[in-house]
Amino acid sequence: MATPNAAICKSNTGINKIFEPLVSLNILRLNKNSLTALSPQVFENVISLNYIEMVNTQFYGATLNMSYEAVVCTNDESCQYKSADWQCNKRCICWVQRNIASLIVDCRGTDLKELPLLPHTTLVQTVLKVGNNSLSELPVVGEHPGYANVSGLFLSDNKLTNLGSGDQLPDNLTHLDVSRNSISAISEQFVEFLQMENNTMTLALSGNPLACDCDALALLFFVRSNPQRVKDIGDVMCPRQKKPLQQMEAFELCPSYVLLVSCVIGGLVIVACLITVFYLMFQKELKIWLYNNNLCLWWVSEEELDKDKTYDAFISYSHKDEELISKLLPKLESGPHPFRICLHDRDWLVGDCIPEQIVRTVDDSKRVIIVLSQHFIDSVWARMEFRIAYQATLQDKRKRIIIILYKELEHMNGIDSELKAYLKLNTYLKWGDPLFWSKLCYAMPHNRRVLKGQKKHAGPLI
């Protein structure tokens, strides 16, 4: 009985006529019949039929005429491919291997100088075996009939000298055997073709006179990283070196490559050393420039170890130097990087104990700016502010004191020993320096929230 998709017949009575109305028939199974003969035209009009199975019958389907393509199976292992547009080359043997659903075109040892014509088929893939012939080049995919459908190409024992860039190979090719040809080099373009996304094609390359030189480096790196892609990798030899390719080192293939790599590495080391020396020599200047140009702020920003402190800086000065304070405050509190500044005459509580306020203010400030002048040295309270700030610096081992030399000191008489020692061991800012403001801003705390563009309120705390 036949259906639109399959028909099973157990008798050959009237079998030559029953298929005519089955215009949608795709699969026909006539297994285990006493069928011995069919008219060559029996399936001629059933153009939708593409698979016929006649296992365990006496009919082998050799005389069927079809105006379309179909696979006719008369045993469990192999089938015949039928097509009105293609006939197997007389030099070749053609059959469909059922377990891999592929049309095998076997033309080995037939003295071919070009590939045989192949069918344009969508039913099966084509495996072409043309080993032991006289082929010297591969055809262009679009110019050779049926070549684009080839999934396995066996070209061993031919006269190929190169594989080009891979554009002469079918898109569906899964295995290429070019062993025992005359290929001396695998181009870098062909290796790049192998490394393309979704390309899983395997190769057989043994028996070729490969010139294992600088041009073979790309192939060496490929087989090292993809040994499973070259099936006979252990037998791919370098004749000149008499070693397997996979055991070769880059310097054995190309001594100049090693020299080039060494020069590049050496150059990079020299550049790195120069950069390091430059950084060590101009580290502070570099960070100041980056900070003032808002570049790489993640590098120049200090961690928020003082995030709980109220002020960014406490300015310790003599009231006789208020002229400088009037210039400092606008820049510090309203500049590109606004800071919260504490001044004793503005922010201290009236009537509170001065020594206690000094201690509390220094403790609540991330920096202490000392406006150093002869007036400062002559002020008892100013010197006390420095001593407390100096002790705090020694205690937490962080540089908190910023000294601004406002005016040249007339004499060092009366200066505290701690301040004198600090001036000898540490650098200070000098009023009038062209880079004064840049250096001062860099010496101030690098608050991350300010650096990220979130301006915080600056000014006195009420």
Tell me the one-letter amino acid at 34. S
> Mind listing the pLDDT tens digit of every residue in the chain (462 residues)?
344 444 444 444 455 567 777 778 888 888 888 777 777 777 777 888 888 888 887 765 456 777 788 898 888 888 989 888 899 999 999 999 998 899 999 999 999 999 999 998 888 999 999 999 999 998 988 889 899 999 999 999 999 999 988 889 999 999 999 999 999 999 999 999 999 988 999 999 999 999 888 888 889 899 989 999 999 998 999 988 888 888 888 878 887 656 667 778 888 888 999 888 887 787 766 766 665 565 665 555 555 456 678 888 999 888 888 888 888 888 888 877 788 899 988 888 877 788 888 888 888 888 889 898 888 888 888 888 888 888 877 776 667 889 898 877 766 666 777 788 887 777 788 898 888 888 888 888 876 544 444 444 344 433
Q: Domain 308-451: which topology? A: Rossmann fold (3.40.50)
pLDDT in the model for residue 457: 39
Q: At how many degrees (to 10) do helices 283-292 and 436-443 cross?
A: 90
C-alpha closest to that of 137 among 167, 168, 171, 99: 168
In this structure, how many other beta carbons lie within 10 angstroms of the beta carbon of residue 234?
13
Whole-number Å distance between alpha carbons of 247 and 359: 74
Positive or negative: CA dihedral 348, 351, 354, 360: negative
Cβ atoms of residues 444 and 300 within 8 Å = no
DSSP 101-159: TEEEEE-TTS--SSPPP----SSSEEEEE--SS---SPPPGGGSTTGGGEEEEE--SS-
Q: Which two tokens stand for residue 54?
A: 């006649």
How wide is the angle at C-alpha 67 spanned by C-alphas 64 and 69, nearest 5°? 80
- pLDDT, residue 182, reads 94
How far apart CA 290 and CA 297 sit, in angstroms, is 7
Q: What is the Cα–Cα distance from 372 to 407, expressed in whole angstroms?
A: 7
Which run of H or E residues covers position 369? strand 365-372
What was the pLDDT predicted at 192?
93
The Cα diameter of the chain in Å comes to 134
Which strand (E) or helix (H) includes residue 263?
Answer: helix 255-281
Full-model pTM: 0.55
Residue-range domain boundaries for the chain? 6-253, 308-451
- At 390 the pLDDT is 81
Cross-strand bridge partners of residue 339: none
Angle 62-67-71 from CA coordinates, rounded to 5°? 50
Look at the domain 6-253 and name its fold: 3.80.10
